[in-house]
A = this chain, B = another copy of it.
Amino acid sequence: MSGSTIIEGNSFRQDSPEALAGLSPEDRTLVERRKKNLGPSYRLFYRNPVHVVDSSGSYLYGPEGEEFLDAYNNVASIGHAHPAVVEAVREQMSRLSTHSRYLQDGILDFSDQLLATFPEELDQVMFTNSGSEANDLALRVAAACTGGTGVVVTSEAYHGTTAAVSAVSPSAGGEGTGPHVRAVPAPDSFRYRPEDHDGRSLAEWFADNVRAAFTDLASEGYPPSALLVDTIFSSDGVFPDTSVLGPAAEVARELGAVFIADEVQPGFGRVGRDFWGFARHGVVPDIVTLGKPMGNGVPVAAMVARSGVLATFGSDIPYFNTFGGSSVPVAAARAVLTVIQKEGLAEKASVLGDRIAGQLQELRQSAPGVGDVRGTGLFFGVEIVEPGTTTPDSARALDIINTMRDMGVLVSVAGPYNSTLKIRPLLSYTAVEADKLVGALSAAVSATGR
């Protein structure tokens, strides 16, 4: 990182000269206060950081009324400041806010509603405060169920911030992954060629790599425990190919591991009418983890599991989470899920997503630097390459997202080279916002052409 101000793609150290240069005096003061009070771990998005004070629907607003179309954030997925969630939280907070060791109706009504969105095999839910805590819990449940410790993930995976979850997140940086972890390459449908791999399909190759990783782990004293995968490979660069998870999960189970589907990013209708990323692959996981969009900004997350998988952990270990499953987070989650269901947002994500995908494919055909367009529902990866090749053009990708930011449209980058534009239109988009997004992307691609 020496000399560079770029950390993990679109995150900048707040004390970088570049980040400070273009700021207004007011924003510079904020950056300096951040540095003083919050310390060096905190990062900012964009070379020219975004200052926000207000929001509504699909937009964020700056202090001077600057408008930013949100095409990235996945917490306010159903729309910023959604009034149904605001009201549900206000009502619950003014009535009752306590934990799950007293009997309450809300947690049970919501668990009924949530579990009904899953295949019947996934029949129990435990609540946490973050996707990190959900994945942390899932790893403990997997260990208790399998007796194993070996975990296989993908090579740019990000599963969260706790010590245990950072250790299975190759892209988290810092301490690195643990000795009980092996990373396999993500199923990069853009760059994979069967002829380079004995004619094996992408799915066969991915499953073979999972098998080899577990075998290697077992040989070093870490018997199989879990295959942990983001079901749209968000941090790896967004790979929606639906052929890969079925065979990989089968291999994991054959070797004694459980399959954990991390739905923190793809879940809750983001991938379209299938609602959960794993459902697109026709596979039923052993454990599923949920998070980000679940509470529209109120911290709430969960782990859903097969009761048989949960049994050993549950009977041996008296897990308690003070806020997890408490009144207010549950009320927020219930309001969000109800909005998604009543407004048919998952179905709408498929319809509008197909429209956007078509426009992005047109852009790809006209712009040689756009190498690939991938996606499902309202979750896209747009690959920026050296024209006519599969060689990533990370610098241009970063230029594009910063140009779009200056045009008032917020997207980011992902993948091993930070060359994949990560684009997530909110589920609250109409065709107007969709056109605005695609227009800004086209303009930024043109403006950064070389």
Which residues of chain A have a CB within 8 Å of any CB of chain B? 7-8, 11, 27, 30-31, 33-34, 36-45, 49-55, 60, 73, 75-76, 80-81, 83, 85-86, 89-90, 93-105, 107-108, 111-112, 115, 123-126, 129-133, 136-137, 139-140, 143-144, 161-164, 166, 172-175, 291-292, 296-300, 305, 307, 310-311, 313-329
Inter-chain contact A52/B104, CB cutoff 8 Å: yes
| Docked CA distance A126–B90 (Å) | 27
Known A-B contacts A80-B96, A93-B81, A164-B163; the reply to A102 vs B297 at CB < 8 A is: no
- When distances are taken between beta carbons in the complex, the residues of chain B under 8 Å from A143 are 175
B163 pairs with A112, CB closer than 8 A: no
Complex contact B43–A318 (CB within 8 A): yes
Q: Which residues of B contact A55 (CB under 8 A)?
A: 95-98
A375 and B266 CA atoms in complex are apart in Å by 49
Contact of A102 among B51, B164, B292, B296 (CB under 8 A): B51
Report if A98-B60 is in contact (Cβ < 8 Å); known contacts: A133-B133, A317-B174: yes
Contacts of A112 in B (CB 8 A): 33, 37
Among A108, A166, A310, residue most surrounded by chain B Cβ atoms (within 10 Å): A108
CB distance from A34 to the nearest CB of B (A): 7
Bound together, the chains give a CA A320 to CA B171 distance in angstroms of: 12
Complex A-B: 17 CB contacts under 8 Å? A30-B103, A36-B124, A37-B123, A39-B124, A40-B310, A41-B314, A43-B318, A52-B104, A75-B326, A76-B98, A81-B94, A89-B93, A97-B297, A129-B323, A130-B130, A143-B175, A173-B318
Other-chain residue from B52, B97, B101, B166 in contact with A98 (beta carbon distance below 8 A)? B52
B320 touches A43 (CB 8 A): yes
In the assembled complex, the Cα of A105 lies from the Cα of B95 at a distance in Å of 29
Q: Report which of B94, B103, B310 forms a contact with A27, defined as CB distance below 8 A.
A: B103
Instruction: Kindly identify which residue among B98, B108, B314 contacts A30, using a CB–CB cutoff of 8 Å.
Output: B108
Question: In the complex the two chains form, what is the Cα distance from A105 to B54 in whole Å?
Answer: 11
Residues of B within 8 A of A140 (CB): 163, 166, 175
In the assembled complex, the CB of A303 is this many whole angstroms from the nearest CB of chain B, namely 10
B163 touching A37, Cβ below 8 Å: no
In whole angstroms, what is the CA distance A173 to B54 when docked?
45
Q: In whole angstroms, what is the CA distance A174 to B313 when docked? A: 8
Other-chain contact of A39, B40, B307, B326 (Cβ < 8 Å): B307
Main secondary structure on A side of the interface with B: mixed
With A93-B297, A163-B163 already in contact, the answer to whether A34 and B328 are too (CB < 8 A) is: no
CB contacts (< 8 Å) of A326 on chain B: these are 75, 297, 299
The answer to whether B136 touches A162 (Cβ under 8 A) is yes
Also in contact, A38 and B75, with CB within 8 A (given A136-B162, A316-B174, A326-B297)? no
With A50-B103, A96-B54: A299-B39 Cβ-Cβ less than 8 Å: no
Bound CA–CA A267/B123 (angstroms): 38
Minimum Cβ distance to chain B for residue A361 (Å): 30
A37 touches B124 (CB 8 A): yes
> Bound complex: CA of A349 vs CA of B410, how far in Å?
47
A73 to B123, CA, bound (A): 30
A141 to chain B, nearest CB (A): 9
Which residues in B have their C-beta under 8 angstroms from that of A126? 38-39, 41-42
- The answer to whether B11 touches A129 (Cβ under 8 A) is no
Residues from chain B with Cβ under 8 Å of A85 in the complex: 93
Q: Flag if A8 contacts B318 (CB, 8 Å).
A: yes
CB nearest to A316 among chain B residues: B174
Distance in angstroms from A176 CB to nearest chain B CB is: 10
A294 to chain B minimum Cβ distance, whole angstroms, is: 10
Knowing A30-B108, A38-B111, A108-B37 touch, does A97 contact B124 (C-beta < 8 A)? no
B129/A318 in contact, CB under 8 A: no
In the assembled complex, the CB of A182 is this many whole angstroms from the nearest CB of chain B, namely 19
The CA of A139 and the CA of B166, in the complex, are separated in Å by 13
Q: Is the CB of A132 within 8 A of B131?
A: no
Known interface pairs A86-B93, A95-B81, A161-B320; A39-B314 also in contact (CB < 8 Å): yes
